[in-house]
Amino acid sequence: MNQYIGVVDRIVDGEHVVILLEEDGELVDQHVAPRSELEDVDESDILLVVIKDDELLVAQQLPKRPGESMRESRNRRSASGLAEDLS
């Protein structure tokens, strides 16, 4: 069983959620889960993720990335939204 900080990278065709998995601040892997398992997440959301044998056991939303101030979190989300608006 492995625990990661996950970042919702993208939602594909409304059917799959791609989560980038981080360990000690470094990108180590990604996990793709059915949208039905993660209905309440949006792109760039931060999650506490537990995976065992490539199965998502836990995905708990966090208000901010561990070690990040709330201001940094708001700025990151604003920049992410701006990038989406420009594409």
Compute the distance between CA of residue 87 and CA of residue 83 in angstroms, rounded to an integer. Answer: 6
Q: Is the overall model pTM greater than 0.75, yes or no? A: yes
Q: Which CATH class is domain 2-86?
A: mainly beta
Residue 84: pLDDT over 80: no
Confidence of residue 66 (pLDDT cuts 50, 70, 90): confident
3 state SS of 86: helix
List the chain domain ranges: 2-86
State how beta strands 2-12 and 26-34 pair: unpaired
What percent of the chain is predicted at pLDDT more than 90? 71
Neighbours of 20 (CB within 10 A): 17
Residue range 39-61: average pLDDT? 97
Token reading at 21: 């998995």
Taking the alpha carbons of 13, 52, 41, 36 in that order, is the dihedral positive or negative? positive
Compute the distance between CA of residue 31 and CA of residue 46 in angstroms, rounded to an integer. Answer: 14
